[in-house]
Amino acid sequence: MFQYLLEEIPALSIDTGYNTLKLFMERGIVTMNMVEDNENRYDADISLYGHLKCNHCGQIYDIRLPITALELAGLEKFEVTESHMYFKGTCPICLNNRDQQKN
């Protein structure tokens, strides 16, 4: 994304980008999703949902989570201010490709 913006705004610095993202997070405009320890992604969809990262192609998929289906035993005495749900597995495209290679 930064490279695309740099083409449009040649004077843009990476610090400006991170400072803008920090401001957006403070204002509740975006959320930061840590999918891996060294991989942060920012999302303008601030609703509650999870992510699945495909172990084969690296694609990240949004997983909708109906909050009524979650039973969070043990959190009754806590004030939860943030939550993240991450799944890792194999996406349907990679599963299909793997099955086709077997045939």
* Residues 43-54 pLDDT 10s: 888 777 888 999
Regarding whether 86 and 75 lie in a shared domain, the answer is yes
The predicted structure's pLDDT at residue 56 = 94
Q: Which domain holds residue 60?
A: 48-103
Of 40, 36, 49, 3, the C-alpha closest to 21 is 40
Two structure tokens written together for 1: 């994304």
User: What is the torsional sign of CA 73, 78, 82, 86?
Assistant: negative
Looking at the structure of the chain, the number of domains it has is 2
- Separation between Cα atoms, residue 80 and residue 22, nearest integer Å: 21
Two structure tokens written together for 103: 């045939």
Regarding whether 53 and 20 lie in a shared domain, the answer is no
Mean pLDDT by 10 residues, the chain (103 residues): 80 86 90 75 81 91 75 80 84 91 78
